Amino acid sequence: MARVTVEDCLDKVDNRFQLVLVATKRARQLAKGAEPFVEWENDKPTVVALREIAEDYITPAILDEKPEDTEAAEVEMGEALTAVDEQGEAMATAKPTDTPEA
């Protein structure tokens, strides 16, 4: 597991206060199910968010995102997951088809 330092992230973000805001917003997105841009190595969402910032996947532009854009994406993701769950349940409860004996 690569160690992430504040200095690594400060090379990408203007100051510590902005870093806190960017990391917090991204960590919340990850905690709500957003897809990570880096490998999730059994870390907490905060650590993954910092790794994404250090590797230039997440920038301060995340602060300019409109909440409704994020909410719409979350709703879409939730609907897709629900559809997959329903398909899986339908397949699990489906009766095997009778095949004619030869």
Residue bearing the bigger pLDDT, 73 or 53: 53
- What's 58's DSSP letter? S
State the pLDDT at residue 102.
58
Domain 6-93 has CATH 3.90.940.10: yes
State the pLDDT at residue 30.
95
Work out the average pLDDT over 47-67: 92
| Per-residue pLDDT at 61 exceeds 70 | yes
Tell me the whole-structure pTM to 2 decimals.
0.62
State how far the alpha carbon of 87 is from the alpha carbons of 14, 16, 58, 65, in Å: 46, 46, 34, 33
State the pLDDT at residue 77.
75
